[in-house]
Structure 1
Amino acid sequence: MISRRNIRVKVMQTLYSYAASLDTDKPLDPQKTLKQHFNQTRSLLTYTVYFLAEVARYAEKDAFKKSHKYIPTEKDLNVNTKLAGSNLLWQILDLNDVKIAFKNEKPEQWGDEELIKKIYTELTASQQYAHYISIGQQSLQEDRKIFEYIFNDLMLDNELFTAHIEEVFSNWDDDGALIAQSVAAFIRKPQSLNFQQIISTDKEVFAVNLLRTVIEKEDYLLSLIKPKLKNWDPERIALLDMVLMKMGVCEFLYFDTIPPKVTINEYIDLAKEYSTAQSGHFVNGILDNIHKELLTEGKITKTDFRKS
């Protein structure tokens, strides 16, 4: 589920926090911090699925509340609960992986009942919902369509929902696109997502090795970077830019299946997105310069990543 780009972001954030903590009484444990970043992604994924399920299940609560009015109307006594009993919803809730995730993460602690109710109310007023409940028989295909509508149109495109989730999860900006893709795939095929292993073994090894190697080889990496800074004072360069350059040079030297062009492009993009307006150009220039020098000196050995 987690891509190499997300891994680089989390390693970057870990290295940044670790470097900043070195001047404190309690420096961070970098590997523990990295693991916490991955756990945050799992929590965000779990809560997003939980919220979606709660919107669908709200039909039951709506029916119960209206039927227990002091003087319920005929309409109050006939709230349609088809969505709450849909095959797709119960496929999701019956998955052992989902049950474990809900038990461990306790997503209800972040729940916003009023927002869930508001989104459900918007849903019941929509043409998509009217079409859904008009179909007499259960249809997994129609279940998927209404769940996709809830998720894409009523959650992701809803400023109230995004404001809520940004407030609860600081990693939404980093992981939002990944979560959206994962939940969309999950709606189509609930068994496709493993909440207990959101990062594959090979990618986890890459993440840990990248983090550890940058820390262990820091002096050597800096010896390659500093001469290229020319009139720049290394102490005045943005800490994040320095972290990104160290990660890039580390990939040149110690990760032989990653093409240098991929490495350079990745860190240019991260510099543009996470650092200053000039950082993309700056990081590009330094990494390209170091790459050319290392090639000339025969210090870069890459295997064909397509055959690795």
Structure 2
Amino acid sequence: MISRRNIRVKVMQTLYTLTSMEPGSMELTKKTGSTILDDKLNRSLDLFIVSILYTFRTAQHAEVIAVQRSAKFLPTAEDLNVSTKIAGNEFMWKVLANETFKEKIKQAKLEQYIDEEWIRKLYLQLAEKGEYKNYIAINERTPAGEKAIMQYIWENLVWENEALQEHFTDELPGWEDDKQMAKMLMENFFKSNSKINFLNLISTEKKEYAHQLMYTVLDKEEYCMSLIQPKLINWDAERVALIDLLLLRMGVCELLYFPTIPTKVTINEYIEVAKLYSTPQSGQFVNGVLDNILKDLEKENKIRKQDHSRKS
């Protein structure tokens, strides 16, 4: 469920945090970094689940509104015919019935972050949308249609809602730092067609990759900077964003010490992370520096990558 790009972001954020701390032994730095990295990964996954909950609770609120309107002293025909189709959304209920989803919510006590007044506001906004009216106008359910309306709620009512985003920043610990990660995970969530284990959103292999990447960047700082520094001749090194330097160090480490990751993938991934988390020019900057370093390393025959074209 969690992608390597998500992991790269968390490693970058962890390294950034470490730079602001008092320097200590490499062993202590690695231990501290490992704890910070695990905390950041777990927090991001919790925010992902909260994002799902806000989406689903909005849909389920149709039943609350239907009951309230039908209970009026003099209900109109419209009051008596509020559609509750979306409350039975099949895509949503497959997830809600998933035992790992329920257990994850319980373990992390995530229900505490659901604001019922906001859920009501979101549903009332949804009820006015043409996409929702089209959805309830069709009696039959299709897998694509069921998923599409949930994705619509997330993208257009939750994610794009500036007031709600401010609420999340105030009430959800870490939202401002991790909202882009939550967005990436939600995108992966809607793309996935397989059953998700919400208690194991990050595989052992990817967790090992996360920690090994961080350890390698710390261990190889001096050597990586010796490769990066000459490429900054036309740049004021002191004005290069710290995040850009961290991404360059991470990228160089991947090029040199992670043989299963193709060089093109590494460079493209760090370009995208730079665009999301650094300055507007960072993507181009990271691309140029990493590409130049790669050319030098290839000339020196220092790049060792597995041949993915071979059939096992």
Q: TM-score, normalised by structure 1?
A: 0.80
1:43: how far off?
A: 1.1
1:105: how far off?
A: 2.6
Q: State the match for 2:188 in structure 1.
A: 182
* Distance of 1:262 and 1:47 partners within structure 2: 31
Contact 2:267 2:291 survives alignment (8 Å): yes
What does 1:168-179 align with in structure 2 at a 5 Å threshold? 168=172, 169-179=175-185
Q: State the match for 1:12 in structure 2.
A: 12
* Distance of 1:199 and 1:175 partners within structure 2: 13
Contact 2:60 2:87 survives alignment (8 Å): yes
* Distance of 2:220 and 2:207 partners within structure 1: 20
* Distance of 2:249 and 2:238 partners within structure 1: 15
| Cα distance change, pair 124–280 in 1 and its aligned pair in 2 (3 A) | closer
Q: State the match for 2:216 in structure 1.
A: 213
| Cα distance change, pair 245–64 in 1 and its aligned pair in 2 (3 A) | same
What is the CA deviation profile of residues 37-61 of structure 1, one whole-angstrom value per residue up to 9, with x for unaligned ones? 2212211221111112211221332
* Distance of 1:66 and 1:60 partners within structure 2: 10
* Distance of 1:83 and 1:273 partners within structure 2: 34
Gapped regions of structure 1 (runs ≥ 5): none
Q: How many residues align?
A: 302
Q: Secondary structure at the match of 1:21?
A: coil
* Distance of 1:265 and 1:85 partners within structure 2: 41
1:8: how far off?
A: 1.5
* Distance of 2:234 and 2:88 partners within structure 1: 67
Gapped regions of structure 2 (runs ≥ 5): none
What does 1:131-210 align with in structure 2 at a 5 Å threshold? 132-133=135-136, 139=141, 141=143, 143-167=146-170, 168=172, 169-185=175-191, 189=193, 192-210=195-213
What does 1:1-308 align with in structure 2 at a 5 Å threshold? 1-22=1-22, 29-66=32-69, 71-73=73-75, 76=79, 79-130=82-133, 132-133=135-136, 139=141, 141=143, 143-167=146-170, 168=172, 169-185=175-191, 189=193, 192-230=195-233, 237-307=240-310
* Distance of 2:180 and 2:97 partners within structure 1: 30
Contact 1:88 1:144 survives alignment (8 Å): yes
Contact 2:51 2:182 survives alignment (8 Å): no
Question: 264-273 vs 237-246, which deviates more?
Answer: 264-273
Amino acid at match of 1:115: W
1:263: how far off?
A: 2.5
Q: Which has the higher contact order (CA 8 A, sep 6+)?
A: 2
Contact 2:45 2:182 survives alignment (8 Å): no
Q: Secondary structure at the match of 2:123?
A: helix
Question: 244-253 vs 159-168, which deviates more?
Answer: 159-168
Contact 1:10 1:34 survives alignment (8 Å): yes
Contact 1:40 1:171 survives alignment (8 Å): no
Contact 1:58 1:84 survives alignment (8 Å): yes
* Distance of 1:93 and 1:207 partners within structure 2: 29
1:77: how far off?
A: 5.8
* Distance of 1:227 and 1:149 partners within structure 2: 48
* Distance of 2:90 and 2:234 partners within structure 1: 65
